[in-house]
Structure 1
Amino acid sequence: MLRFDIAPVCSNAYRLQALMSMTIAAIYLFTPYKWVAIFLALGGFIRGFVSPHKCLSYKLFASITRTLKLSKMQNAGSKMFADKIACVAGTAMFVTWLLDSSIGMIPGWAILIFAFLDVTTGFCAACWAYLAYYKMKGA
């Protein structure tokens, strides 16, 4: 479902956001600093459930892309769906760390892999799934 109640977002700013998510996942997976997952959860919550335009990191990345004249606007719906997934994954990572369980490594690896794909190729798997779902639903 396209979101016309929220202003379009910059897809290149979201690629920088994916780089940040990839970095958080790498820190979670390869260092003892598992608590960083809270940043993934909170950022995903603000961008996915509130509005991307209220998130400080998105504002920063959007201003960088605007300054570099690399802004490429798109509808916010699919990116907000991706952020909801990041919120759930980050929450799972953080809670399982608090519970001293290693199961949080699974969403950590998923975020790392899919964020890497987004950063390097521009392919957002969650955005693709979002659009595919609404195409199937409409058919």
Structure 2
Amino acid sequence: MLRFDVPQVWSNVIRLEAFLTAAVAALALALNLPWLMALLVALGLVRGFVGHHRCPSHYAWKALMLRLNCAGKLEDAGAKMFANKVLFIASSVSLALFLSGSNLWMVPATMLVIFATLEWAFSFCAACWAYGAWYKKFPPAGA
């Protein structure tokens, strides 16, 4: 479902954010620093539930990439907001597992590395694909 109530997002800015997500999750795993997942919780919360246009880091990356003339093309923000909701949930689960003393915190962190890498390296957003498939199968009323 297209979201016309939020501004569109630049494709390469989203890919940069996916790279940073993969890097933070990979660092958390490599250095055994699960507290780094709290950063991803915060980013997923703001970008997924409030919107990219209200996220300070997104705004900074967008300004930089527009200045460098490498922001890419505009895309619908709805699917990207859904992907960030998934980021929020996965990183929250990872952090909660760590706080409960479980080493299973590494599973959602690893999944974030995998799926964020698919986005930045190949422009394949699995959450966006699921978002589109859901709305094809179950279109909103009146569509």
* TM-score, structure 1 normalization: 0.94
Return the offset for 1:63.
Answer: 1.2
Quote the sequence identity (%).
38
Once the two structures are superposed, residues 68-119 of structure 1 have per-residue CA deviations (whole angstroms, 9 ceiling, x without a partner) of 2223111110000000000001111111111111121111111000111111
Unpaired runs of at least 5, structure 2: none
Superposed structure 1 runs of 4+ greater than 2 Å apart: none
Helix, strand or coil for the counterpart of 1:69?
Answer: coil
Q: Residue 27 in 1 paired to residue 27 in 2?
A: yes
Unpaired runs of at least 5, structure 1: none
* Alignment correspondent of 2:77: 76
* Alignment correspondent of 1:131: 132
Q: Distance in 2 between matches of 1:30 and 1:88?
A: 21
* Alignment correspondent of 1:119: 120
Q: Distance in 2 between matches of 1:70 and 1:137?
A: 36
Return the offset for 1:39.
Answer: 0.5
C-alpha root-mean-square deviation of aligned residues, in Å?
1.3
Q: Distance in 2 between matches of 1:108 and 1:54?
A: 25
Helix, strand or coil for the counterpart of 2:86?
Answer: helix
Once the two structures are superposed, residues 24-58 of structure 1 have per-residue CA deviations (whole angstroms, 9 ceiling, x without a partner) of 11012111211000000110000000111111111
* Number of residue pairs matched by the alignment: 139
